[in-house]
Structure 1
Amino acid sequence: MGTIQIMQILVTGGAGFIGGHLAQRFAADGHDVVVLDNRDPFYDLDIKQHNVDAGQEAARNSDGSYEFIEGDVRDAELVTDLVADADYVYHQAAQAGVRPSVKNPRKYDEVNVNGTLNLLDACRDEGIERFVMASSSSVYGKPQYLPYDEQHPTTPVSPYGASKLAAERYACAYSEVYDLSTVALRYFTVYGPRMRPNMAISNFVSRCHNGEPPVIYGDGTQTRDFTYIEDVIDANMTLLHEDAADGKAVNIGSTDNIEIKTLATEIRDQIDPDLDLVYEERHDADAEHTHAATDRAEELLGYDPDHTIREGVAKFIDWYRDNRDWYEPLVRQS
């Protein structure tokens, strides 16, 4: 077996959920990782610290290295300095949240669009190997058909979705006009260990473990692709050596989708079958349905997600039980 070529990798948002798992995996594989994160208190910072701790531990147990830098992608000078030392940039930093974006759309533009442009300019000037960014299924908006393929019209219905679409279009345009290798991965509701605590799965699990009924917003017939974190990380790892997706946006979803009320029932039945389901008013900015066609990812990246929603949820519940002492209170305060 050949040796792994060691890369210098900058992970923005590397104290977050997906970025934290990416940085951990890169460090575990022996790469030299720099994490840039502003530690935004969008959710409890203790969870983000656990992501940093996991990356540092991975580096200690391998030949890799891990450096954490507290800073912001809106700081163009800092971004330029960090990109100068990188071979690859994995851009996961973003102002997250569909519902909060309705209250403060300009912050989403500043972070998600201008921050991405700072990185793209630096990557173009330095001639890095590849720029990989986290996009979102939110770029699609209301479905004209399902599953969404990458040719589906992009008509986001939230400022968050609009900001992610603008960012990925800039990335793809830079690939076209500056010969910069860029890929935008459109994630479909990623979940797993250390996930953001205000997501449906973590809320359902937390409430059920504490004898409280899961709360469903709307009638529960909304459907979602839920993508397990390990499948997402595998897709990202492929882009260290695969250039077939350069200049493209690619769906990264799961093998199936599920109604929210079915998901809540599945979690309830695994933890406390005696609980009822509770329904509350649906939020207008939430998409009614998401479902990914992953043919392009399979063709270009060999993407083959191997976690069904039920398998992934079972793994998350097992992890949750083992980590309740630090994770659960944070979920319940969200």
Structure 2
Amino acid sequence: MKTSVNRRVLVTGADGFIGSHLAELLVQRGYQVRALVQYNSFNSWGWLDSSPLAKEMEVIAGDVRDPFLCDNICADIDVVFHLAALIAIPYSYQAPNSYVETNVNGTLNMCQAALKQGVKRFIQTSTSEIYGTARYVPIDEQHPSQPQSPYSASKIAADAMALSYFNAFQLPVTIARPFNTYGPRQSARAVIPSIIIQIAAGRERIELGDVSPTRDFNYVADTCAGFIALAEAGHQVVGETINIASNDEISVADTLALIKQLMRSPVEFITDEQRLRPASSEVFRLWGDNQKLRSLSDWQPQHSLAQGLQQTIDWFSQPQHLARYKADQYNV
């Protein structure tokens, strides 16, 4: 089922980091894009405000917590890319109910709307956080789920809700499970932007949490290409959970060292206690197996970690971008 370029797609969470990149890439590939951004009184479209491609999208402000809104935005849509979610792990410790309302109930609303409107493919966005600390590596899709934070618990529930609509109602669901995506526009709460921003702001010592965990980092363009590959793949991906991963791992400490090298910085690292997760909540190892996605599509990562980091550094180092972040504050 290779898609035609005139298919209508919906991207929820299009105002966010990955969502804005995905919406732009879809436009560039000839899709008709409806973009859902979160309603706010400032009439802000998030990252789409600064996108030259936003004028080629149908942008709608709303909230996936509203089932009526979800029903309306799914009308006349072929493919739904459901990315709208609360994702900050530290904030999930403080406001867990909001994660259930948005991530679980929001997914329920979107699935019900997609079913009613006859959507042909529903791409549910998962996260590698649902795996918790690896019991074996590389982590394939059969790895057990481990709810080590309220955030990961809400995403486990959201994935289960989406798959229940496949099993019970034949909604053509595919679970896309990206590992640690990074790149331009990412929130400063994430480790790579946090390092880059502090160095670019001229800090002599940067504050981080535990630097021993490993992560499977994916440049945002590769993650977005993975989403589109799943939408364009045949029926064999329906009802399946599929990792989007680099099939590699690197510790946060080694990532810091690589960024320091690329930015030619002698910055020192100190531990910031408030950035440490509770001991049983920290995910100490992530390394994703991408064999399933590669076997079901022509996708493969196009950016090495060094290449992706350099492009990310170049973007964050531009004064107009750096000014949008608060280098002197910890972002929960």
Equivalent residue for 2:312, pick from 305, 312, 316: 316
Give structure 1 stretches of 5+ with no counterpart: none
Say if 1:59 and 1:255 are closer, same or farther in 2 by CA, change over 3 A: same
Task: Let me know the Cα RMSD of the aligned residues.
Answer: 2.2
Q: CA deviation at 1:319?
A: 2.2
Question: Given the alignment, which residue of 266, 275, 282 partners 2:258?
Answer: 266
Instruction: Give CA deviations for 1:25-72 in whole Å, capped at 9, x if unaligned.
Output: 11222322111121579xx997x6333432xx2265xxxx31221110
| Deviation readout 1:229-281 (Å, 9 max, x if unpaired) | 11111111113321321111111111421111111111122224322122233
1:250 aligns with 2:249: no
Shift of 1:214: 2.8
Change (3 A) 1:316 1:111: same
C-alpha displacement of 1:94: 0.2
Does residue 134 of structure 1 match 2:130?
Answer: no
Paired residues in the alignment total 322
Aligned AA (2:33) = V
Letter in 2 for 1:171: A
Q: Which amino acid aligns with 1:266?
A: L
What is the TM-score when the length of structure 2 is the normalising length? 0.90
CA–CA separation in structure 2 for the residues paired with 1:121 and 1:327: 40
Q: State the alpha-carbon separation in 2 of the partners of residues 40 and 299 from structure 1.
A: 42
Please identify, of 4-13 and 116-125, the stretch whose mean Cα deviation from structure 2 is larger: 4-13
Q: Residue 9 of structure 1: SS of its match in structure 2?
A: strand
Name the CA distance, whole Å, in 2 between partners of 1:201 and 1:73.
29
List, as ranges, runs of 4+ consecutive aligned residues in structure 1 with deviation greater than 6 Å.
none
Question: Which residue number corresponds to residue 30 of structure 1?
Answer: 30
| Map of 1:286 onto structure 2 | 282
Residue from 83, 86, 100 that aligns with 2:77: 86
Cα distance in 1 for residues equivalent to 2:180 and 2:84: 16
Q: 1:273 to 1:137 in 2, by over 3 A?
A: same
AA paired with 1:265?
Answer: A
1:239 matched to which residue of 2?
Answer: 230
Asked whether the 8 Å contact 1:255–1:308 carries over to 2, the reply is no
Amino acid at match of 1:324: P
1:7-26 to 2 correspondences below 5 Å: 7-26=7-26
Aligned to 1:330: 325
Following superposition, the deviation at residue 300 of structure 1 comes to 1.6
Counterpart-to-counterpart distance in 2, 1:327 and 1:45: 22
Corresponding residue for residue 125 of structure 1: 116
Which one of 116, 127, 131 corresponds to residue 107 of structure 2?
A: 116
**Residue 154 of structure 2 corresponds to residue 163 of structure 1:** yes
In 2 relative to 1, CA 103–3 (structure 1 residues): closer, same or farther, beyond 3 Å? closer
Alignment correspondent of 2:198: 207
* Deviation digits for residues 125-157 of structure 1 (CA, Å, limit 9, x no counterpart): 222110002100111123211221111111121
SS of equivalent to 2:231: coil
Matching residue within 50, 53, 56 for 2:50: 53
Structure 2 residue aligned with 1:301, among 297, 304, 317?
297
User: Would the aligned equivalents of 1:221 and 1:259 in 2 still touch at CA under 8 Å?
Assistant: yes
Is the contact made by 2:9 and 2:77 (CA closer than 8 Å) also made in structure 1? yes
In the alignment, is the contact (CA less than 8 A) between 2:71 and 2:113 conserved in 1? yes
1:102 aligns with 93
The C-alpha deviation readout for 1:205-226, integer Å capped at 9, x for no partner, is 11111221232312x2211111
TM-score for the superposition, normalised by structure 1: 0.90
User: Identity of counterpart residues, as a percentage?
Assistant: 31
